Amino acid sequence: MDELGSIKVTDWALDMLTHIIIRRYNDNKTLIVTSNFLDEPKREGEERLEDRISYRLRSRLYEMCATVEMSGSDYRKNHNKKNTFT
């Protein structure tokens, strides 16, 4: 699942996310998730992944997944600077 939480989910989308995550959990299948949301925001007012997908789903992901925090500069932003014509 790429960019989980990038959009606010509707009730239907939350039901589908729940179905997919629980099904993979019950079938003991791998699940790789990426998200730009942290568990604890760096700035006040920033949302957490839990705020976007619900406590229940975030809790399940804690159980299923290992968290790997990636840091660094924005590749697309830096790549675009190299391709800018002056």
Domain residue spans of the chain = 11-82
Averaged pLDDT for residues 23-47: 89
Q: Is the pTM of this model over 0.85?
A: no
Measure the CA–CA gap between 20 and 72, rounded to whole angstroms.
30
Measured distance between the N- and C-terminal CA atoms of the chain, rounded to whole angstroms: 38
Q: What is the pLDDT of residues 52-64, one digit of tens each?
A: 999 999 999 999 9
Please list the alpha-helical segments (H only) found in 1-86.
11-26, 49-53, 55-64, 75-82
